[in-house]
Amino acid sequence: VTSFGPTTTTFVQPEPIPSPRDFVLWSLFNTIFCNPFCLGFIALVFSVKARDRKIAQDPAAASTFGRTAKQLNIAALFLSIITFTLFIVLLVLYYSNP
């Protein structure tokens, strides 16, 4: 007579690796609305490269391209805000003096 005992199966789930960000929407926004020196377009190119590398399961390259896209987006947004603010100030100064 053969007896079988209870079977115990243990499954250890690995830690999930966070997916690198690609900043495509922010890059698209900057391409359309805030595009000084074509920085928004260049950020969009790097964002698409980051997304391609993420799909190709290359998180190191995706992270590098994503970081570059983020830095370009910050620069584009900063320059756009400075330019817009300067334009408003000059416009107010021009029309406030008779």
Per-residue confidence (pLDDT) for residue 1, from 0 to 100: 65
Task: Express the helix, strand and coil content of the chain in percent, nearest 5 each.
Answer: 70, 0, 30
Per the CB < 8 A criterion, the answer to whether 70 and 24 are in contact is no
Q: Which residue has the higher pLDDT, 96 or 5?
A: 96
- Residue 13: the pLDDT is 83
pLDDT in tens, 1-54: 666 777 778 888 887 777 899 999 999 999 999 898 999 999 999 999 999 999
Task: Check residue 9 and give its pLDDT.
Answer: 80
User: What average pLDDT does the structure give for the chain?
Assistant: 91
Write out pLDDT tens, residues 51-73.
999 999 999 999 999 999 999 99
- Where do we find the tokens 């994503």? 66
